[in-house]
Structure 1
Amino acid sequence: MNMRILVAPDSFKGTATAAEAAAAIALGARRALGSSPHAATAQVTTLPMADGGEGTAEVLASAAVHRDGTAGQTITLPTTDAIGRLTEASYQLVGDTAFIDVAAATGLPAVSDALDPLHADSYGTGVLLADAESRGAKHIVLGLGGSASIDGGLGILAALGAAAHDSRGYALPKGGAPLVNLDHIDTAQLNMKAAMLDYTLVTDTRAVPIQAATMYGPQKGAEGEQVALLAGAMLKLCEVTDTDLQAEFLGAAGGIPIALSWLSRTLWGTAEHCRIVPGGRYVAEALDLPARIAEADLVLTGEGRFDEQSLTGKVVGTLAEMTGPPTLGIIAGSATAPAPQGALLEELGGEGRGDVAQRLSAAAERLVRSFLQS
């Protein structure tokens, strides 16, 4: 019987895309198999994964093209990054569905040299949404991970023509901090066609609204009083938009789901046109992952950092839930949590041991050898 290995990693943030990681891991797996009795007949298949973070749009668009037989296209256009600088960003359009990553325009790496957690905004992402509608999109699939802003999605609303005002009727400055003075959101100039699209928000966190600041603020440069100020801004936004403070998922991407859910309720009278889904499982189902796992003897996955959050909706956690008879092998840049029961865990090792592709291949080779010897 042929041995079958499925390689399904997430991206390794800032160092390797999911596709690059999959190729490197597969190379290491084949090296390990080369000296085994399975060398001649083993099958190693790659399936790059995502969970709502950077790279989600590309993975889902590729799956849609494969599933529907519809040609897709990459759209690139000028927009702004999270601190308002002119940049270019891309998204995928397949039929009447646009696949967009928040990280494409509003991502953290692009502004790592000038973090501004109080005033960073999601306007650039809103530009992409409006452009997609102008090209015929009727459905937006938005990957929420990797954002640099904590503005509750008000930047997106601004790009769609809405305006946040204080109690005196003055427009608020951009960013999250000014939302402590939010009184109402004016939709008189709203781009109705773009606003009334169907939205699927793909998230890798179950964070509630205030955690957009308290949990993720420090990652975006917020410290001490800044975190408290942004937390207050999220509370005020929830008050104005009548949003449940305990609603899971709404704290993703600096609170972007708060604004888009409110928009759906305001325009449609229901939140059904803005669906929020756990990213790992949503992507897994789009890729028909359960069927692929059922055919495998060993499933190799990985991510940059394996910790307790890895098992809550992210790629590794989703695979751990789905992997039954096959053994799960996890490759991580670093690990601060134990592997799930029955799984194998291999760390990449120090940065001084070659580039990330070489280290991924070496880790995969060690892991597969351990599996073969078990």
Structure 2
Amino acid sequence: MPSTPTIIIAPDSYKGTATATQAATWLAEGVREILADAEITLAPMADGGEGTAEIFGGEVITLPTTNAAGRLTEASYIFDEAAATAYIDVAAASGLPAVADNPVPTTGDTYGTGVLIADAVTRGATRITLGLGGSATTDGGTGILVALGAVPRNKEGYALRKGGADLVNLDNIDTALLNIPAAVAEWVLLTDVTAPATGPDGAAHVFGPQKGATPEEVELLDAGLSHLCDVLDVDGTIPGMGAAGGIGIGLTWLSTLMHGTTDHIHILPGAPLIARATGVEELIPRADLVITGEGRLDAQSHTGKVVGTLHALTSAAGVPLAVAAGEIDGEVPEGIIPVELEKSNDVAAQLRAAGRRIAERFAAGSATDH
């Protein structure tokens, strides 16, 4: 072990218990108890899920909006005036926790997220970066479209009912009242999954049950998203198109309508982009140890999530990666040092203890042991 080891601490958030910034701070405090002279860099991470917006700098904007069930709530986003960019988590307004006690799998919509987008545009945002994880909706982004003045209608000319179930009746989208400044924005959609829009690996089948959908409702939602793709002429097979209940479908159509091409909408894996934007990718080859963390370490951790992204980077650089996880399920890949959090209601104490254990293993030269 180097006398002054260089350590990067780059955790994801622990949903509902610790932000990525808090987690990084508490892990570092534990490490510092064992390795007092270590050169530690805190680099909170995200993957497009909850907590993505706060990774980026800017002003916190909070305003009234609606949740996925249409009830009044407050939500915040980050606005970087210098870059004319808004960073918005779909989970902020349209997230699952707000409706967990009474899920709305077929009627939940993203209108509340659209309210945040419209507000950002009035402040001068010309680029909208959406973190797509953690939504309670499967509406193909149509709620956002409605908030921006585009009304989905059936063949009789009536507006569709909100949510994903009525998408099977879509005939056209009325753009007479479209918010043009919002529609022409540059869209960056950060995904934490690679799911396509439809099919057995799509938004409804994979994530619908997590949002409260029955098997029958899953089939209805999948049919609705498939019909939406057909009517809007959007390729639903693109990886990530199924993220956040297919939000990319509606926004791809909107951007293509405005610009004639898909050049102004970018559906990207969130974690790699954030690793580059925060400088983590550049720092890793010079580190002696990288520490990350998330609530649950399992097979999904390696499909577009923070852990999988950092594992690829550390493996390429030959740097050990420690993961402090609330729960560890399944086999842990080579090159990862798994540390399960102690059972406690004190998250700060859990993470400090995990930091100490990781530092002790590293100091003892066993950081690569499993």
TM-score > 0.5 by shorter chain? yes
**2:353 is matched with which residue: 353, 362, 369?**
362
Q: Which runs of 5+ in 1 are unaligned?
A: 34-38, 63-71
**Deviating 4+ runs (over 2 angstroms):** 337-340
Q: How many angstroms apart in 2 are the aligned matches of 1:242 and 1:335?
A: 41
Q: Is the 8 A contact 1:297 1:325 kept in 2?
A: no
Structure 1 residue 49 and structure 2 residue 45: aligned? Answer: yes
Q: Is the 8 A contact 2:197 2:241 kept in 1?
A: yes
Matched with 1:81 is: 67
**2:54 is matched with which residue: 40, 44, 58?**
58
Structure 1 residue 326 and structure 2 residue 319: aligned? Answer: yes
Q: How many angstroms apart in 2 are the aligned matches of 1:332 and 1:174?
A: 37
Q: Is the 8 A contact 1:305 1:332 kept in 2?
A: yes
Structure 1 residue 261 and structure 2 residue 252: aligned? Answer: yes
Q: Is the 8 A contact 2:229 2:235 kept in 1?
A: yes
Structure 1 residue 139 and structure 2 residue 105: aligned? Answer: no
Q: How many angstroms apart in 2 are the aligned matches of 1:182 and 1:214?
A: 21
What amino acid maps onto 2:125 in structure 1?
A
After TM superposition, give the deviation of residue 325 of structure 1 in Å. 2.5
After TM superposition, give the deviation of residue 344 of structure 1 in Å. 0.4
Matched with 2:173 is: 185
SS at match of 1:175: coil
After TM superposition, give the deviation of residue 222 of structure 1 in Å. 0.8
Q: How many angstroms apart in 2 are the aligned matches of 1:337 and 1:319?
A: 19
SS at match of 1:161: coil
Matched with 1:337 is: 330
Q: Is the 8 A contact 1:108 1:148 kept in 2?
A: yes
After TM superposition, give the deviation of residue 245 of structure 1 in Å. 3.2
Q: How does 1:1-374 map to 2 (within 5 A)?
A: 1-33=3-35, 39=36, 41-60=37-56, 62=57, 72-95=58-81, 96-210=84-198, 211-323=202-314, 324-350=317-343, 353-373=344-364, 374=366
Q: Is the 8 A contact 1:320 1:340 kept in 2?
A: no
Q: How many angstroms apart in 2 are the aligned matches of 1:274 and 1:245?
A: 14
Q: How many angstroms apart in 1 are the aligned matches of 2:345 and 2:39?
A: 27
Q: How many angstroms apart in 2 are the aligned matches of 1:50 and 1:93?
A: 17
SS at match of 1:332: strand
- Paired-residue identity, %: 54
Q: Is the 8 A contact 1:166 1:181 kept in 2?
A: yes
After TM superposition, give the deviation of residue 308 of structure 1 in Å. 1.3
Deviates more, 1:231-240 or 1:330-339: 330-339
What amino acid maps onto 1:107 in structure 2?
G
Q: How many angstroms apart in 2 are the aligned matches of 1:12 and 1:233?
A: 33
Q: How many angstroms apart in 2 are the aligned matches of 1:152 and 1:161?
A: 16
Q: How many angstroms apart in 2 are the aligned matches of 1:301 and 1:30?
A: 16
After TM superposition, give the deviation of residue 371 of structure 1 in Å. 2.1
After TM superposition, give the deviation of residue 114 of structure 1 in Å. 1.6
What amino acid maps onto 1:123 in structure 2?
Y
SS at match of 2:125: coil
Q: Which runs of 5+ in 2 are unaligned?
A: none
After TM superposition, give the deviation of residue 188 of structure 1 in Å. 1.4
Q: How many angstroms apart in 1 are the aligned matches of 2:62 and 2:156?
A: 39
TM-score by length of 1: 0.93
After TM superposition, give the deviation of residue 364 of structure 1 in Å. 2.2
SS at match of 1:140: strand
TM-score by length of 2: 0.94
Aligned-residue CA RMSD (Å): 1.2
Matched with 1:67 is: none
Q: Is the 8 A contact 2:50 2:133 kept in 1?
A: yes
Q: Is the 8 A contact 1:333 1:348 kept in 2?
A: yes
Q: Is the 8 A contact 2:86 2:120 kept in 1?
A: yes
Q: How many angstroms apart in 1 are the aligned matches of 2:80 and 2:238?
A: 31
